[in-house]
Amino acid sequence: MEKDRSTKELLQVMLDNKPFFMSGLCSWVDKLECNFIVNSHERRVLSIYIRDNKPSKWSSIDAYKNYYSPHYWSVGNIKLRLKWIKKHIKKLSK
């Protein structure tokens, strides 16, 4: 049985699979699972990490406008999501 990847590795998997992005981080993770890129345990790890590391509403105007929405940024805006992923890969590298 394969060892589950670390959160940092899983965030990198997201970066490496941008074509699966459609609307938001969580649906992106779900799509990765549906395409057998991550397993169900890894999907849960990523989903919990995303939920527990919600961006500050002060991190961008987009985050401020969507702070009480299930989406942290405007639906379909991958640019801010990529920035968030890269920030957390760096954070987890320390």
The type of residue at 26 is C
Whole-model pTM: value is 0.89
Are the CB atoms for 86 and 15 separated by under 8 Å?
Answer: yes
Which tokens belong to 52? Answer: 């527990």
DSSP state of 18: G
Please tell me the predicted confidence (pLDDT) of residue 94. 87
Give the whole-angstrom CA distance, residue 78 versus residue 65.
16
Q: What is the pLDDT of residues 52-69, one digit of tens each?
A: 998 887 788 887 888 778
- Amino acid 2: pLDDT: 65
Residue 1 DSSP symbol: -
SS3 88: helix
Helix, strand, coil shares of the chain, percent, nearest 5, are 60, 0, 40
pLDDT at 26 over 90: yes
